[in-house]
Amino acid sequence: MITDRRSAIKTLGAIAAATLLPTIAAAGRSTQKTIFPPRLKPGDVCGLINPAGATFHPDDINIAEETLQALGLRTKRGQHLLDRYGYLAGKDTDRASDINSMFADPDVKAIITVRGGWGCNRLLPLLDYKSISKNPKILMGYSDITSLLIAIYAKTGLVTFHGPVGISTWNDFTVELVNRILFKGSILLMENPEKRNNLGVQTDNRIRTISAGTAEGRLVGGNLSVLTAMVGSPYLPDWKNKILFIEEVREDIYRIDRMLTQLKLAGILEQLNGFIFGKCTKCNSSETYGSLTLEEVIDDHIKPLGIPAWYGSMIGHIEDKFTVPLGVSVKIDAQTGTIQMLEAAVE
């Protein structure tokens, strides 16, 4: 719900951003309409690529292929899938070439990344966005894949998917979401699973409301550290009226504070309609004395915005994870911690 307080904050923030942040330009941001990729069908070819960290265990590829085949898909390996250049899965030009080739290949209907790590930001200037927009198809991953998901959406308007990678735990929860969103084209209400103890109390996967209310907007986000590393580049979307979701893993609390501060100083937070922090997995302070808690840091940055916001959605480096479509219209409820899709993510 948009309050007068929030409107005032946004007005003041817009003045400050216009005065102090002229370099955070909208150059390169997409003004195109949203593009929905075709849904998956049994027998479709799914391309496997490795655009970030190197895969040191070849059997990981076999497991990923067998997983996708169990979903009724055929697979095609990227030419440089098992390359290695230090900690990267090959040279930048080669990893980018695999992405471009998969989008250009008419036989490939979806592209799944094998793993995350680091390296996708290095590829953004090398991608053929015109070809991608002319050949829309499903692209899915998470963690470092965040930069590909956001950049491709920003540059082309193509809906992308923050979801499992090839080496993820493909359990019943994860597979059901993939099937319903990517194959069936369902318009889902995403809410945390209820796992109650003998007294009927939910102790796992609880949500913590930061600011109650409901809001609508297009859903965009991903890994916090990857997103902040893109700030100031031409590969981010227009944030006005967006619903931002973020997640993180193995970061000290002061680093979460630093990254949220960066989003604030860049003028991103003040433009949002809503905010979702998924899971901050193994995020602990390395300080033995005097640290802020994660809850305090989030409240410091998000509560003053006056927008619906919560922590604890099933998004992140976890086994039971939502498949979250970037670029679709949603309605969120921060009291119940739910994401209601307002449209299908695939055609």
Return the SS3 of 261: helix
Crossing angle between the packed helical segments 294-302 and 253-265, to the nearest 10 degrees: 10
Pick the catalytic residue: 65, 80, 147, 247?
247
Beta-carbon contacts of residue 345 (< 8 Å; ≥ 6 apart) = 36, 159, 161, 181, 182, 185, 325, 328
Query: Which H helix or E strand runs over 150?
Result: helix 146-156
Report the alpha-carbon distance of residue 160 to residue 126 in Å, rounded.
18
Q: Output the CA torsion sign for 39, 42, 47, 50.
A: positive
The secondary structure of 281-308 as a DSSP string is: ET---S-SSSPPPHHHHHHHHHGGGTS-
Report the alpha-carbon distance of residue 95 to residue 50 in Å, rounded.
7
313 flagged as catalytic: no
Pick the catalytic residue: 30, 101, 143, 168?
143
247 flagged as catalytic: yes
- In the 8-state DSSP scheme, what is residue 183? I
Report the alpha-carbon distance of residue 325 to residue 218 in Å, rounded.
10
Distances (CA, A) of 276 to 119, 195, 208, 332: 25, 21, 10, 9
Pick the catalytic residue: 80, 162, 301, 317?
317
Would you name the residues annotated as active-site residues?
A: 143, 247, 317
